[in-house]
A = this chain, B = another copy of it.
């Protein structure tokens, strides 16, 4: 199900990304280590985004916020460099995607603040350990992600904007288990926001995800939809901050902390 050459730790993957050697989606990589979405904004926009995240905790569960000007992590990983340690970045200027790039060293500014948000890849370990199978991993592709008609509540200059979801199909008994298990992980999107008919949340064509790749849904399977950390990228398209840098969908930050640390403890 996984490559033989997968990484043994989040740090190993980060160093491979830093050197430019690793540039694939990260689902299933360095199993057992936390994965996270990245958002970087100028300090002037940091309160707006933190409040947007507070108002929309399912798509935007904040795990770490950097100090203005510092690209160094302290909570999810010991001194990772947020400018080089992800496999792929996206740069948005006034809501337009202007570049996809392997590092952002030359773009870094003294007023940048980074945010790391929980990612559903973190609870995938728990799903696999429970004996469930993940179709996108079986098919060797990126998880499919869709824009929905669920609305995130705006905050300051971040406007109301659509929630993005990731989708995983399961047979009914496994779907129930998947709800039970992911409910235990509220810091990494928690339980699904929808299951069953895609039209119920405004998805017209399951074969054409806006991000990631389509996967097979077999006869009798039910699609489950989880809030997704790509949601801030869609908010950026709508709200047009002067500059915002994110990870590329599916190409996540890998931390030093274990997935199970994000299991609900209270």
Contacts and interface: CB of A to CB of B under 8 A. Distances in A.
Interface of A: 46-47, 50-51, 54-55, 58, 62, 65, 155, 182-183, 186, 189-193, 264-266
Contact of A265 (B50, B189, B191): B191
A65 B58 CA distance: 17
* In the A-B complex, the 4 residue pairs with the closest CB atoms: A191-B266, A190-B266, A47-B47, A50-B50
Contacts of A65: 51, 54-55, 155
Given A54-B65, A65-B54, A186-B186, A266 B192 contact: yes
Q: How many copies does the complex hold?
A: 2
A117 to B, nearest CB: 11
B62 A186 contact: no
A155 to B, nearest CB: 8
A264 B58 CA distance: 12
A168 to B, nearest CB: 15
A191 B46 CA distance: 30
Nearest to A182: B266
A264 B190 CA distance: 10
A46 B191 CA distance: 30
Contact of A47 (B46, B191, B266): B46
Contact of A266 (B50, B51, B58, B265): B58
Contacts of A51: 50, 65
A73 to B, nearest CB: 14
Contacts of A189: 266
A173 to B, nearest CB: 20
Given A54-B62, A54-B65, A65-B54, A264 B186 contact: yes
A186 B46 CA distance: 25
7 contacts: A50-B50, A51-B65, A65-B155, A183-B264, A183-B265, A186-B264, A193-B266
A62 B54 CA distance: 7
Contacts of A192: 266
A68 to B, nearest CB: 9
